Amino acid sequence: MQPLIYEPGAIARIIFNRPEVLNAIDAATASAFLEACRAIAADEAVRVVVLRGAGRGFVAGGDLALFRSDPLSIPKALIQPLHDGLLLLTQLRAPVIASVHGAVAGAGMSLAAACDLVIASDDARFKLAYSSIGVSSDLGASWTLPRLVGLRHALQIALVDEPIDATTALRLGLVNYVVPGAELAARTDQLAARLAAAPPLALGEMKRLMRDSSERDFSSQLDAEREAFGRCCKSEDFGEAVSAFFEKRPGRYVGR
């Protein structure tokens, strides 16, 4: 069985596929994740990326069998390829959606937090879990969580390490949507299709502006917005969007 399935397309999908261990990430999964992210980054036809897990949960964290058998290999064999792949996803112009259910723990919670949007089933349970096994976080959780929920809540999530249900995750800002479990796949597809039909250059510029905003002061952010707006105005998609608005029809965007 493949530990991870990559489905290419305008809506590209990465599926964690070790359901017997709640998709716990081992070295083979980490390597496959990086290869899938590289393939997505090289494919200009990708409009949206969806991450999900097979079986009863999204991702339950790192594979504790590796933690027990060869802990010194973890930074290089597990963390580095995950980090390299995740960085590629955050740099895409395409929005990245985490579609999560069941266990969303450890690396799974960190991964979801780093995505652009998160849609969760009402049975999703979040737990950072790193302190429970005596380690600090990876996959950017120490960067994303304070920005998503504020420093005080982020420290509570990391240090107290209590489980968080889907309703609380929505209230805190960890997820964007909570839906019934039976509707998760369909609602994810609807969200992905809506994003895939939008002007990809505009979405990419907006994504980058927001992700880079913490590195700039307000004046510099205004400059960056003006420059991004100007780039959009030069695109074919801008002309198509304006025409579609006045003609009261959906736009047909080509990404240039």
Domain of residue 240, CATH code: 1.10.12
Nearest to 113 by CA among 143, 81, 133, 84: 143
The pLDDT assigned to 65 comes to 80
* SS3 (DSSP) at 127: strand
| Pair 139, 87: CB distance under 8 Å | no
With respect to residue 254, please indicate whether it lies within any of the assigned structural domains.
no
The pLDDT assigned to 205 comes to 94
The pLDDT assigned to 60 comes to 95
Claim to verify: residue 145 and residue 215 sit in the same structural domain? no
Claim to verify: residue 22 and residue 129 sit in the same structural domain? yes
Claim to verify: residue 122 and residue 22 sit in the same structural domain? yes
Claim to verify: residue 143 and residue 229 sit in the same structural domain? no
With 90 as the cut, is the pLDDT of residue 51 above it?
A: yes
For the chain, what percentages of helix, strand and coil (3-state, to nearest 5) are there? 55, 15, 30
Q: In whole angstroms, give the CA distance from residue 238 to residue 243.
A: 9
Which is more confident, 206 or 72? Answer: 206
Claim to verify: residue 35 and residue 59 sit in the same structural domain? yes
Q: In whole angstroms, give the CA distance from residue 213 to residue 220.
A: 9
Claim to verify: residue 41 and residue 71 sit in the same structural domain? yes
Claim to verify: residue 33 and residue 52 sit in the same structural domain? yes
Q: Among 196, 217, 233, identify where a domain stops.
A: 196
Claim to verify: residue 116 and residue 210 sit in the same structural domain? no
Q: In whole angstroms, give the CA distance from residue 113 to residue 99.
A: 11
With respect to residue 256, please indicate whether it lies within any of the assigned structural domains.
no
Domain of residue 91, CATH code: 3.90.226.10
Claim to verify: residue 25 and residue 97 sit in the same structural domain? yes
pLDDT tens digits for 170-202? Answer: 999 999 999 999 999 999 999 999 999 999 999
Claim to verify: residue 184 and residue 228 sit in the same structural domain? no
* 151: enclosing H helix or E strand: helix 151-155
Q: Using alpha carbons only, what angle is made at residue 77 by residues 76 and 79, rounded to the nearest 5 degrees?
A: 70
Q: Which of 32-41, 104-113, 175-184, 247-256 has the lowest mean pLDDT?
A: 247-256
Mean pLDDT of 119-134: 94
Claim to verify: residue 167 and residue 225 sit in the same structural domain? no
| Pair 164, 157: CB distance under 8 Å | yes
Range of the structural domain that residue 241 is part of: 200-247
With 80 as the cut, is the pLDDT of residue 67 above it?
A: no
Mean pLDDT of 227-248: 89
Structure tokens at 7: 């489905």
Structure tokens at 156: 């509570």
The average confidence (pLDDT) of the chain is 94
With respect to residue 96, please indicate whether it lies within any of the assigned structural domains.
yes
Claim to verify: residue 24 and residue 77 sit in the same structural domain? yes
The pLDDT assigned to 247 comes to 85
With 90 as the cut, is the pLDDT of residue 99 above it?
A: yes
What confidence category does residue 208 fall into, taking pLDDT thresholds of 50, 70 and 90?
very high
Q: In whole angstroms, give the CA distance from residue 256 to residue 251.
A: 13
* SS3 (DSSP) at 52: strand
Q: Is the dihedral of CA 220, 224, 225, 227 positive or negative?
A: positive
Q: Among 163, 178, 196, identify where a domain stops.
A: 196
Start-to-end CA distance of the chain, whole Å, equals: 39
With respect to residue 252, please indicate whether it lies within any of the assigned structural domains.
no
pLDDT tens digits for 135-155? Answer: 899 999 999 999 999 999 999
With 80 as the cut, is the pLDDT of residue 70 above it?
A: no
- Counted domains in the chain: 2
The pLDDT assigned to 248 comes to 87
Tell me what percent of the residues of the chain surpass a pLDDT of 70: 100
With respect to residue 253, please indicate whether it lies within any of the assigned structural domains.
no
With respect to residue 33, please indicate whether it lies within any of the assigned structural domains.
yes
